[in-house]
Amino acid sequence: MNDKEALDLLSFVVDRAKTLGATAADALLIDSDDSVVGVRKGDVEKIQRTRSRGMGLRVFRGHAQAIVSTSDMDRNALETLVRGAVSMAEETQPDPFSGLPGTGPGSVAPVSSLDILEDPSPEISQEERIRLATEAERAAFAEDPRIQNSEGAEFQSTFVRSYLVNTDGFSGGSARSLYGLSCSVIAREDDSMERDYWYEQSHFYRRLPHPEEVGRHAGRRAISRLHPRRPKTTTCPVLFDAEVARTLVSHLLGALSGYSLYRNATYLKDRENTRVASTGITIREEPLLPGGFGSRPFDGEGVISRPKVLVEHGILKMYLFDAYSGRKSGRSSTGNASRSLGDSPHVGVSNVLVDQGTRSKDELLQDMKSGLYVTELIGFGVNQVTGDYSRGAFGFWVEDGEIQFPVSELTIAGNLDDMFQSIVEVGNDRRIRSSISSPSLLLENMRVGGNG
């Protein structure tokens, strides 16, 4: 199915919904092709390929809503689906806040062409996929004789095309490819055994690092974890590595959701235009970032994507809304609707970036002098209502600005509000490796639970 055929099919569905009595409708089509090859200790353990195509339809009769989905693209089957959806909406309790985003300024507009994040590279053979995974694992074993076992290496590829049409006149689509290579290995020395991993991903196959680089990095990470100690319980500075710092940002984003606001389920309620972080923190959403892992020309309801500043020098500038949570909160959609085929939209983000500082991670370690450098977080002990934060962690103990030894079996605790406002340094080591990207963050103090 090409782009025109997909958009024509969606137009047929929403037009039929209107003809059959719907006051408004939108339809989403997602066409995906996923492939995974996995090897372990040189043997191929997994070859999977999943191809799927589905359509989700949302219809309104006034403020009553019904949502249905199907994988059958036959027009006769779709006619039956539409009739059923309109009948369901007739029996649904109206909600005065439900409906499409509308056609007000900055709300929806037609998209004339697809925004492509798709690799034009030729088809990659199965043999090549196996070779890439095998070379990554082989490089990890070659890094150090203490790498004695493997949880495997995988090469993955995903191709997704999505299309959206609604009765407000919106019609658009986007396409993306994603390639990933990962490796996970186990290091052992005497009675100490530790596991670690590494991964790389890109929209473009030829931009992936060499598999040897992925494997060797996984091996080095596993070796660095050997013979961890358990630190004494204390209060000290904590440096979050860039890979884990983005999880702090994700907790903040959850607290900015319109759904959390109208449910009174966020510690950031009524905090707009007030300080929620230190002056060194600026957080942006960049939905049109070239090559971004969350880039999209429009959101899940057809609202055109635009860059925005969420936090500026520590001041909260805006909350995040889809159409429903916006109306419920007396606001407009901010273009942050995310959508799956069979569910109502919810608030999500595209690419979120924390602005970088000017200093390297090594300089941040020097500034910290003595404290904890966190490289992995375990569990999920975060209360979005109060901001209370407590998670298991792994990392390294730092003295005199130098890493001394690995530490494990510890917890770090604080409150998100206090944590963001106690950030004293922001690193310059941000890498775009996912839809949320942050440099290393140095916090003035956190409670570290260990021995005694």
The reported pLDDT for the residue numbered 121 is 66
Nearest Cα neighbor of 27 from 161, 166, 162 is 166
The reported pLDDT for the residue numbered 102 is 81
For 212-232, what is the mean pLDDT? Answer: 96
Provide, rounded to the nearest whole percent, the portion of the chain with pLDDT above 70: 96
**Residues 213 and 234 grouped into a single domain:** no
Measured in degrees and rounded to the nearest 5, phi and psi for residue 30 equal -125, 125
Tell me, yes or no, whether 166 lies in a domain. Answer: no
Tell me, yes or no, whether 40 lies in a domain. Answer: no
**Residues 55 and 150 grouped into a single domain:** no
**Residues 94 and 106 grouped into a single domain:** yes
Domain of 109 in residue numbering reads as 3-33+45-115
CATH of the domain at 109: 3.30.2290.10
**Residues 326 and 445 grouped into a single domain:** yes
For 94-103, what is the mean pLDDT? Answer: 88
Nearest Cα neighbor of 127 from 39, 196, 30, 34 is 39
**Residues 390 and 449 grouped into a single domain:** yes
Q: Whole-structure pTM over 0.85, yes or no?
A: yes
**Residues 199 and 93 grouped into a single domain:** no
Evaluate if residue 118 carries a pLDDT over 80: no
The reported pLDDT for the residue numbered 105 is 40
Alpha carbons within 13 A on the beta-carbon side of 231: 28
Nearest Cα neighbor of 329 from 382, 272, 287, 385 is 272
**Residues 148 and 233 grouped into a single domain:** no
For 56-66, what is the mean pLDDT? Answer: 95
**What would the pLDDT profile of 132-151 be if each residue is shown by its tens digit?**
999 999 999 999 999 999 99
Nearest Cα neighbor of 102 from 164, 166, 156 is 166
Pairing of strands 337-338, 147-166: unpaired
Tell me, yes or no, whether 164 lies in a domain. Answer: no
Tell me the pLDDT of the chain averaged across its residues.
93
- Is there a contact between 150 and 187 (Cβ–Cβ < 8 Å)? no
What six digits make up the tokens of 402? 């130098």
Residues 6+ apart with CB under 8 A from 127: none
Number of domains in the chain: 3
Strand partners, 388: 415
Tell me, yes or no, whether 219 lies in a domain. Answer: yes
**Residues 207 and 310 grouped into a single domain:** no
**What would the pLDDT profile of 305-320 be if each residue is shown by its tens digit?**
999 999 999 999 999 9
Neighbours of 261 (CB within 10 A): 24
Longest CA span, the chain: 74
**Residues 276 and 385 grouped into a single domain:** yes
Name the pLDDT band for 110 (thresholds 50, 70, 90): very low
**What would the pLDDT profile of 197-206 be if each residue is shown by its tens digit?**
999 999 889 8
The reported pLDDT for the residue numbered 122 is 67
Name the pLDDT band for 106 (thresholds 50, 70, 90): very low
In angstroms, rounded to a whole number, what is the distance separating the alpha carbons of residues 354 and 432?
A: 11
**Residues 93 and 152 grouped into a single domain:** no
Which one is predicted more confidently, 103 or 356?
Answer: 356
